[in-house]
Amino acid sequence: EATNFAVRVAPLGPYGQVLVLAEDQTEHHRVEAVRRDFVANVSHELKTPVGALSLLAETIQDAADDPEAVTRFAGRMQHEAARLTYLVQDLITLSRIQGAEPVPTPCPVPVDEAVHDAIDRCNTTAAAKDITLVAGGVEGLQIWGDEELLVTALRNLIDNAVAYSPEHTRVVVSARPAGDSVEISVSDQGIGIPESAQERIFERFFRVDTARSRATGGTGLGLAIVKHVAAAHNGAITVWSKEGSGSTFTLRLPALGGVAVPATPDISTI
Ligand code: ADP
């Protein structure tokens, strides 16, 4: 990797001494490049639905005397508008979380409440595919952090699990104490993620299959949001996945008081 040094020379003292400052700008350049890429990606992602919307508006004008076509095109316009809304919402969420690193006012957060809240909000999409959302072993655990951020991260993980799974499958959300942390996992029986892509899926706008991800309504920002939620808690997000069998995402967050309270096993809900 190329290294960049910015060298500054300042006069110092009466005998012609100089002060030479050499500043390593490699990191600065890398951050700049990432920022430029992100802006270019956002512009591209915004242009696609906006382009589709203006094309559809033109088509609708031409099809004014065909009510069936008008209804069809209006439906597609709604779909593109919704995509635009999700993208803007995710961009706002991402920038808000990046501004909240580390979590400004951490509180005790009951894991079961956050898990059930996230499951409730994903139930409609899951039901449409006859996917059962199950919570197991989440009782009695508490993290030290931000409830809203935790729910946001879990919703993104559960949304993905549902989006990338076939009908009539199960998504299991479970939690366990792990030293001074709590590990919360979301497991699906879906399409899985090729090993070569597993490292990159947490990057903003990275998708394994762009067409498929767009079709499921994904913005490409979900896992980047999860990664920042983990970072804001000084935690971590990891993935285990096997193509064709499913994926498990594990979010590790600090336990309340530094020690996780062991959960009472509740086998009946698993
Ligand atoms: P998207 O909005 O495209 O789902 P994400 O950042 O949430 O964006 O995920 C990035 C990519 O990782 C997805 O496009 C998909 O290819 C892959 N992915 C994420 N979660 C899963 C999962 N549970 N099963 C299979 N692939 C997944």
DSSP state of 171: E
pLDDT number for residue 2: 61
Output the CA 68–ligand 1 centroid distance in Å.
Answer: 35
Q: Given ligand 1 and candidates 203, 210, 213, 240, which is best to mutate, with the most ligand atoms within 8 Å of its CB?
A: 213
Output the CA 228–ligand 1 centroid distance in Å.
Answer: 16
Q: Which atom of ligand 1 is nearest to the CA of 207?
A: 14
> pLDDT per residue over 30-78, tens digit each?
888 888 889 999 999 999 999 999 999 999 999 989 999 999 999 999 9
Q: Given ligand 1 and candidates 156, 160, 195, which is best to mutate, with the most ligand atoms within 8 Å of its CB?
A: 160
Output the CA 238–ligand 1 centroid distance in Å.
Answer: 13
Output the CA 19–ligand 1 centroid distance in Å.
Answer: 51
Ligand 1: residues within 6 Å at CB?
A: 160-161, 164, 188, 190-193, 201, 206-209, 213, 218-224, 247
**Cα 109 to Cα 145: distance, rounded to the nearest angstrom:** 6
- The helix-helix angle for 147-163 and 111-128 (nearest 10°) equals 30
Indicate whether 186 pLDDT > 60: yes
Question: Which 3-state string (H, E, C) describes 133-154?
Answer: EEEECCCCCEEEECHHHHHHHH
Q: Are 225 and 138 in contact (CB under 8 A)?
A: no
Identify the CA nearest to 46 among candidates 95, 21, 81, 16: 81
H or E stretch covering 21: strand 18-24
3-state SS assignment for residue 185 = strand
Indicate whether 4 pLDDT > 50: yes
Q: What is the DSSP string of 62-131?
A: HTTT-HHHHHHHHHHHHHHHHHHHHHHHHHHHHHHHHTTSS-SS-EEEEHHHHHHHHHHHHHHHHHHTTP
Please state whether the peptide bond connecting residue 254 to the residue before it is cis, i.e. omega within 30 degrees of 0: no
More confident residue, 258 or 226: 226
Output the CA 18–ligand 1 centroid distance in Å.
Answer: 55
Q: Tell me whether 0.90 is exceeded by the ipTM.
A: yes
Whether the pTM exceeds 0.80: the reply is: yes
Average pLDDT score over residue span 210-225: 85
Q: Which atom of ligand 1 is nearest to the CA of 219?
A: 2
Output the CA 192–ligand 1 centroid distance in Å.
Answer: 9
**Cα 236 to Cα 251: distance, rounded to the nearest angstrom:** 6
Task: Using only the alpha carbons of the chain, give its radius of gyration.
Answer: 23
> pLDDT per residue over 93-105, tens digit each?
999 998 888 999 9
Indicate whether 269 pLDDT > 60: no
User: Parallel, antiparallel, or unpaired for β 142-145 and 107-110?
Assistant: antiparallel
pLDDT number for residue 260: 55
Identify the CA nearest to 214 among candidates 72, 54, 79: 79
**Cα 11 to Cα 18: distance, rounded to the nearest angstrom:** 4
Question: Which single residue is written with the structure tokens 């001494």?
Answer: 17
